[in-house]
Amino acid sequence: MAEVLRLRVYTRERQLVDQDVREVTAPGVYGEIGVLPDHAALVTTLEPGVLSYKDTAGAVASVQVTGGFAEVRDNVMTVLADAGAAAAG
Amino acid sequence: MPNLKALRKRIATVRSTQQITRAMKMVAAAKLRRAQEAAERARPYAAKLAEMFEAVAAGVEPDTHPLLARREERRIDLVVVSSDRGLCGGYNSNLFRHLAKFVRERAGQELGLVVVGRKGFEYYRRRGTSIVSQQVGILTTPPATMAAALAAEVAGRFEREETDAVYLAYNRFRSAISQTPGVVPLLPVAPPAADERPVDYIFEPPRLELLGRLVPRYLEALVTQALLEAIASEHAARMTAMGNATTNATDMIGALTLSMNRARQATITKELMEVVGGAEALKG
């Protein structure tokens, strides 16, 4: 069982996040989606909201997204945000 | 004999033109660098979106989404990305020449143009080509915004069956000294071939609904990449053109200076001869 998964967040203009994380919470179409390492392959749309993640040290950070898409596959979570900005906290 | 004063004036004119072309070259070079960086930064998003589109669309039938529908191409739309301003060498004319060929090959089809850039609009209006719409401000509007507007427009026309296929024409950016015009198909969006070993994805919302959201965004990303590349190409073309103009001005100043000096020399010689001639005559 993998300890971490790779989180990559892109907006149209640039890459916002590229790091190993323990856990991701994303605003999915049917409510919050929690993604842990070894999650099943998934493609989903995202609603506007806050995407938060816990890094390997256990610190929580978050990114504002205005909607977009996310894919989870082989312990890599790729998030394509329509627009996004790193949020405080 | 060229007049000395006129020559001096001419040199001053060329020199001031050269100052302008040199400044334009430097501005274009700086903008080119920024445009290249912007295209570079936007590339991962487009690449990932294409991957995701492939994951969702792999193997679906073309009739599952209106933008994937393949029809007989009787009416085609061509999105032409030209520049608003000139002084960029062959940037626009190369593209138009390339397109003339493309259009000739499709003589039997009804053509509508969606023109970006004032130069393209003026050119095709003069030639009486049917123009569906036009946009200006490629260098001042954020590329993503313009791409969204363009994508929405052609997608709308395609869905209403006002056109059967949409192509996108722009100057591809190869390097700072090489840009080549190209035409790429935009609509219908080509669904990728089914994967050999498909990944068993969970789709949220269901696959077709997801596809419905993904396709317009994918189309937008395609247009955005093209616009970013066209912008880089425009700056590169302008940089080269203005660099050449600056070099030509230097040559011209050299040639003019030479004839000016020759004229000056001739005047001095003539005056000397007159003085000597006068003195000789007095000696008599």
Q: Which chain B residues are closer than 8 Å to A46 by Cβ?
A: none
Provide the CA B126 distance to its chain's centre, in angstroms: 19
What CATH superfamily classification does A5-86 receive? F0F1 ATP synthase delta/epsilon subunit, N-terminal (2.60.15.10)
Read off the pLDDT of each residue in A73-83 and give the average, rounded to a whole number: 89
User: For position B2, what pLDDT does the model report?
Assistant: 65
CA separation for the pair A41, A27 (Å, rounded): 17
Q: Do A78 and B221 touch (CB under 8 A)?
A: no
Contact B217, B189 (CB under 8 A): no
Q: Which chain A residues are closer than 8 Å to B42 by Cβ?
A: 12-14
CA distances for B55 relative to A19, B98, B203, angstroms: 23, 35, 10
Per-residue pLDDT of chain B (284 residues; tens, 9 = 90+): 568 889 999 999 999 999 999 999 999 999 999 999 998 888 888 888 988 888 888 767 777 788 888 888 899 999 999 999 999 999 999 999 999 999 999 888 999 999 999 999 999 999 988 899 999 999 998 888 899 999 999 999 999 999 999 999 999 999 888 999 999 999 888 766 666 666 788 888 888 888 888 889 999 999 999 999 999 999 999 999 999 999 999 999 999 999 999 999 999 999 999 999 999 998 86
Phi, psi of A57 (to 5 degrees): -85, -5
User: For position B269, what pLDDT does the model report?
Assistant: 93
Q: What does the angle CA B147 – CA B153 – CA B157 come to, to the nearest 5 degrees?
A: 145
CA separation for the pair B207, B70 (Å, rounded): 20
The pTM of this model reads 0.85
Q: Do B42 and A69 touch (CB under 8 A)?
A: no
Q: Do B204 and A42 touch (CB under 8 A)?
A: yes
Contact A47, A78 (CB under 8 A): no
For domain B35-240, the CATH architecture is 3-Layer(aba) Sandwich (3.40)
Beta strands in chain B (DSSP E): 75-81, 110-116, 131-135, 165-175, 178-187, 202-204
User: For position A2, what pLDDT does the model report?
Assistant: 75
User: For position A89, what pLDDT does the model report?
Assistant: 44
What DSSP character marks residue B248?
Answer: H
User: For position A83, what pLDDT does the model report?
Assistant: 75
Q: Which chain A residues are closer than 8 Å to B224 by Cβ?
A: 12
Q: What ipTM was predicted for this assembly?
A: 0.86
| Rg value, chain A, Cα | 12
- Listing DSSP states for B95-132 in one string gives HHHHHHHHHHHTTTSEEEEEEESHHHHHHHHHTT--EE
Residue among B44, B51, B52 minimizing CB distance to A15: B44
Residue among A11, A29, A82 minimizing CB distance to B204: A29
A88: Cα within 13 Å, side-chain hemisphere: 0
Tell me whether residue B20 is one of the annotated catalytic residues: no
What's the token pair of residue B212? 């419905």
Q: Do B217 and A69 touch (CB under 8 A)?
A: yes
Domain edges within chain A: 5-86
Please choose, from the candidates A13, B200, A38, the residue with its C-alpha nearest in 3D space to the C-alpha of residue A24: A38
pLDDT for residue A22 is more than 70: yes
Contact B136, B149 (CB under 8 A): no
Q: Return the number of CB contacts < 8 Å for A and B.
A: 72
CA separation for the pair B284, B276 (Å, rounded): 12
Q: Give the least confident one: A5-9, A25-29, A34-38, B63-67.
A: B63-67
What's the token pair of residue B160? 């209403």
